[in-house]
Amino acid sequence: GQYVARGSTVTISWDTNNFALGGESLCTLTGGGITGSELQNGTGDDETGTVDVTVDARTSFTLTCPTGVSEYIIEVIPEGIEI
């Protein structure tokens, strides 16, 4: 995961291309207000892409495919703390 300031915009990217196993179109991406529709938007190559998300609190993003699940967590730096 990574730490960001409250209200930061982060870019979530994915690459679900797998020639051997296929099934990329069955993947879903959720978390941070993402519904998974970004992966099946019908334009361009849905196997790869990005989406910008504003993070106001600890947020977990989950990429779920027939071959497995991957989770990524973004933490918000508490106000008043410098790193």
Q: Give tens-digit pLDDT for 29-49.
A: 888 888 766 666 544 555 777
Higher pLDDT, 5 or 15: 5
pTM of the model: 0.75
pLDDT of residue 19: 52
In which band, very low, low, confident or very high, does the pLDDT at 9 lie, cut at 50, 70 and 90? very high
Comparing CA positions, the residue from 41, 27, 32 lying closest to residue 12 is: 32
The span from the CA of 33 to the CA of 52, in Å, is: 11
For residue 77, give the DSSP letter. Answer: P
Q: How far is CA 82 from the centre of its chain?
A: 26
What percentage of the chain has pLDDT greater than the value 90? 29
Q: How far is CA 10 from the centre of its chain?
A: 10
pLDDT of residue 17: 72
